[in-house]
Amino acid sequence: MKILTGNDLKTGDVVWWDGQNWSRDVNDAADAGGDADAILAREDAAVRVNAGYVIDALRTGDGVRPAHIKDRIRALGPTVRLDFSLKPADTNVSEWVL
Amino acid sequence: MYQYDQYDQAMVDARVAEFRGQVERRLAGELTEDQFKPLRLKNGLYLQLHAYMLRVAIPYGTLNSRQMRLLGDIADKYDRGYGHFTTRQNLQYNWIKLEETPDILADLATVEMHAIQTSGNCIRNISSDQYAGAAADELVDPRPYAELLRQWSSFHPEFDYLPRKFKFAVIASDTDRAAMRLHDIGIQIVANECGDIGAKFHVGGGMGRTPMIAPVIREFVPALQMISYAEACLRVYNRYGRRDNKYKARIKILIHEIGADEYRRQVEEEFAHVLTLGLEPPAAELARIQGFFADPGFETGLSDEVDRSDPDFAVWLNQNTVAHKQPGYAVVTISLKPIGGIPGDASADQIRLMADLGRDHSFDELRVTHSQNIVLPHVKKADLYALWQKLEAAGLGSANLDLISDIIACPGLDYCSLANARSIPLAQKISQRFADLDRQRDLGELKLKISGCINACGHHHAGHIGILGVDRKGTENYQLSFGGSEAADTSLAQITGPGFSEDGVVDAVEKATNVYLAQRSEGERFLDTYRRIGMAPFKEAIYG
């Protein structure tokens, strides 16, 4: 699947296109299919996302998993500060990243 | 230390106001990201892997306790409670909000700090010897010369859009503690045969994808012509440096391609012209700046004796303090490299504590080192034990300066959008592997440096042991190298061979240290043994 990611303009937070809006959780990411460029152009013009780009990902039983390690780390947060991950209480939160 | 005059403060305040307006226009959609990006970068604001990152300039690594305290307060108020001290003596915040950046810059301006020219193709923060003004081996304090260069290079209109970024380092002792020869321009303040003070110019050094050691371009430039000579060096680079290929745009490539002799000839020609323009600041300005760097009020008649009865303190004393020029005082390095920690990171509370210790024990001065540690430059020896106890209680008492766990590591793929592999977890694993301090001390001076990509922010080319993280088909892989140095014996590390996994490279490092222990001669460091016996025995142990 093709998914869209970027950063929230005001806060810089990593965000993922969920089909309607931008979510902080990669598991909300929607398949943009062939519309990726059009969506990014529209969202950029509307100042709703910054530095957006399209990536390959897989939808697994455990959630959406970006294909490249860099994007998986973007989705998780720093592997050395799991207290800043989306689920800081989950000690296994980083297992799928590496 | 230097204090802003009305012009300095007005410039910084005006820049904050200007950037506030630019941010407002960006948030309102009046500026596109393409238009805004060069503006934010000129104010030190990057967009990194997870968030905006703000790089704050710490000129020549020197700051006072008020400034240090504010860095801690900003970490709490605007970031996530910590800061990262960098390999160019700056500080980075990793979780900054664009909408709050003008307020951060305004706060910084209240203590004479900013983030100007910490990014972009301009002259960056001038770095220097972290022991300046305190070292027993220095000719003079190099910081007035660094400050003169800072003032000359700040908002210099001719050098605001260079072919690539440009970095200076200034030192004033034969012991290079600032990786001087690995900068675009490295200056050593020297005396000529008449005893006159001047600048020895090394030009065209650097790390990155094409590491080079800067050749000497001029042995002696009179101190009061240093700015004119720097101007000439930059003008030749600005004229001929390549703008068509960012990978060949640094000055080191220009000098490599045309040759040091031809570059020198052109600089001399330009220098003769520049001298006619009257650009050089008057001697009175250098004298005014030097006045800010006068020795603090050292007490005299102090004893050099220190009670070493506490064995843990004695180890720290031996490892983390060096001789001061003033009897009864020592230079203290606070390690930001606890075992298993993140090199260069300090919590807001630790930053504020170090600020207090600088105020109470070091004449209100602190330094940031390119090795990502903090220095208290002027500590009375009688205060050392009490100081160490406070550091220990705060997790800042690691006695590992220049040992294998005193690792330089860039933020790597955990934070940096340019990185190919993670650096920090590797640093953590290596420090844990060598956690035993007796073992580390037996290994002696061993500078291990890790970069997460070819840009070499972790100085891996200059490591006694260097590690470079690369992306091999989507998997992290680590190239190992030996024999680098960024000290006065500057050398570039040589790659051992095929790369390793994360765990594999930790094992390889350990095997290399075993070769060293087996082969070392009396008094040899790891680097010395490597230079004597060469790569072969190490390769055999690692790959055999």
Burial of residue B276, with CB atoms counted within 10 A of its CB: 0-12 exposed, 13-18 middle, 19 or more buried: exposed
Q: Which residues of chain B have pLDDT under 50?
A: none
Question: What does DSSP say about strands B465-472 and B448-451: parallel, antiparallel, or unpaired?
Answer: parallel
What was the pLDDT predicted at A98?
82
pLDDT at B303: 96
d(CA B206, CA B183) in angstroms, rounded, equals 5
By the 8 A CB rule, do B402 and B447 touch?
Answer: yes
Taking CA atoms, what residue in B is nearest to A69?
A: B474
Distance CA A9, CA B346 (A): 27
Q: pLDDT for A24-49, tens place per residue?
A: 999 999 999 999 999 999 999 998 99
Say yes or no for a CB contact (<8 Å) between A73 and B474: no
Contact between A49 and A8 under an 8 Å Cβ cutoff? The reply is yes
- Length of chain B equals 544
Instruction: Tell me how many helices (H) and strands (E) chain B has.
Output: 17, 20
Partner A contacted by B50 (CB < 8 A): yes
Q: Fill in the amino acid letter for B137.
A: D
Backbone angles phi, psi at B448, to 5 degrees: -110, 130
Q: Please report the pLDDT score of residue B378 as a whole number.
A: 98
Question: Which residue intervals of A10-68 are DSSP H helices?
Answer: 36-45
- In DSSP notation, B155-200 reads T-GGGSS-SS-B-EEEE-SSS--S-GGGSSEEEEEEE-TT--EEEE
Convert the pLDDT of each residue in B25-72 to its tens digit: 999 999 999 999 999 999 999 999 999 999 999 999 999 999 999 999
CB contact under 8 A, A11 and B51: yes
Q: Does residue A4 have a pLDDT over 80?
A: yes
Cβ pair A67:B474 closer than 8 A: yes
For residue B67, what is the enclosing H or E element? helix B65-78
Nearest 5 degrees, angle CA B436-CA B441-CA B447?
100
Residues of B in contact with A77 (CB under 8 A): 50
- pLDDT value, residue B31: 96
Query: What integer pLDDT is reported at residue B118 of this predicted model?
Result: 96
pTM over 0.95: yes
d(CA A25, CA A15): 7
Query: pLDDT value at position A56?
Result: 97
Residue A91 has pLDDT above 80, yes or no: no
Interface touch B422/A79, C-beta < 8 Å: yes
End-to-end Cα, chain A, rounded Å: 20
pLDDT reported for residue A1: 96
CB distance A68–B474 less than 8 Å?
yes
Min Cα–Cα distance to chain A from B474, Å? 6
CA distance B426 to chain A (A): 10
The pLDDT tens digits of the residues spanning A38-79 come to: 999 999 999 899 999 999 999 999 899 999 999 999 999 999
Residues 417-456 of B with CB under 8 A from A: 417, 419, 422, 424-425, 428
CB contact under 8 A, A51 and B33: yes
Using an 8 Å CB-CB cutoff, list chain B residues near A84.
Answer: 50, 80, 95
Where does the pLDDT of residue A93 fall: very low under 50, low under 70, confident under 90, or very high at 90 and above? confident
Whether residues B97 and A73 touch (CB distance < 8 A) is answered with: no
Are the beta carbons of B311 and B399 closer than 8 angstroms?
no
